[in-house]
């Protein structure tokens, strides 16, 4: 088993947890001095980093057990094959190019819509903006994954 990778995963997991707790602490101590939107972003970032760190450590401990050593070696081999596979690399590149184009178009549409709404005196509040950005982020994640898998099946 590759102890170096396990050690790094535990270290990075611990760093993620520490930074997440630090951000949550900043939120707690400065909650009366910062805006609601920034508070929400700090809480989201703090929890996300903390949970990601915890999951990294759990995964490391799971694969460190002797009964899971074979699974770990297989997983590392598959990761190495996936990284070096030329077809998957080309599919990732093509997905990235398409994803970039779609994001540019969406950004242009949102900018134009915002300008039009502003000209009519309709202001977008922080809650609406947060919801729109959350939907946009979810769309990016889902679109990228679905398009990649679709291209992978095609080739």
Angle in degrees, CA 77, 82, 88, rounded to 5: 165
CA-closest candidate to residue 20, choices 45, 46, 53, 38: 46
Of 83, 115, 143, the residue at which a domain comes to its end is: 83
Of 21, 52, 83, the residue at which a domain comes to its end is: 83
Q: What is the pLDDT of residue 69?
A: 83
The reply to whether 21 and 89 lie within a common domain is no
The reply to whether 112 and 133 lie within a common domain is yes
User: Do 11 and 51 meet the contact criterion of CB atoms below 8 Å apart?
Assistant: no
The reply to whether 77 and 92 lie within a common domain is no
The reply to whether 56 and 128 lie within a common domain is no
Q: What is the pLDDT of residue 143?
A: 85
The reply to whether 94 and 35 lie within a common domain is no
Q: What is the DSSP string of 126-155?
A: HHHHHHHHHHHHHHHHHHHHHHHHHHHHH-
pLDDT averaged over consecutive 10-residue blocks of the chain (155 residues)?
A: 60 91 87 75 87 90 86 84 79 87 87 79 73 82 87 82
The reply to whether 135 and 90 lie within a common domain is yes
The reply to whether 65 and 24 lie within a common domain is yes
Domain of 30?
1-83
CA-closest candidate to residue 49, choices 25, 17, 27: 17
The reply to whether 76 and 101 lie within a common domain is no
The reply to whether 149 and 106 lie within a common domain is yes
The total number of structural domains that make up the chain:
2
Q: What distance in Å separates the CA atoms of residue 100 and residue 72, rounded to the nearest whole number? A: 34
Q: What distance in Å separates the CA atoms of residue 60 and residue 72, rounded to the nearest whole number? A: 10
The reply to whether 32 and 79 lie within a common domain is yes
Q: What is the pLDDT of residue 54?
A: 93
For residue 31, the SS3 value is coil
The reply to whether 54 and 8 lie within a common domain is yes
Of 38, 54, 83, the residue at which a domain comes to its end is: 83
Please name the residue that has the structure tokens 């994001």: 103
Q: What is the pLDDT of residue 131?
A: 78
Dig out the tokens for 128 from the structure.
């609406």
107 phi and psi, to 5 degrees?
-65, -40
The reply to whether 47 and 104 lie within a common domain is no
């Amino acid at each position: 088993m590759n102890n170096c990778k396990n050690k790094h995963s535990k270290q990075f997991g611990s760093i993620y947890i520490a930074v997440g707790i630090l951000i949550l602490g900043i939120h707690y101590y400065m909650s009366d001095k910062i805006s609601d939107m920034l508070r929400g972003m700090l809480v989201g970032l703090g929890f996300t980093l903390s949970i990601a760190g915890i999951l990294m450590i759990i995964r490391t401990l799971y694969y460190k057990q002797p009964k899971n050593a074979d699974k770990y070696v297989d997983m590392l081999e598959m990761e190495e094959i996936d990284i070096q596979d030329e077809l998957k690399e080309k599919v990732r590149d093509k997905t990235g190019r398409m994803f970039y184009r779609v994001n540019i178009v969406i950004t242009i549409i949102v900018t134009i819509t915002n300008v039009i709404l502003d000209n009519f005196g309709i202001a977008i509040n922080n809650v609406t903006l947060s919801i729109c950005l959350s939907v946009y982020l979810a769309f990016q994640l889902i679109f990228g994954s679905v398009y990649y898998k679709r291209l992978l099946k095609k080739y």
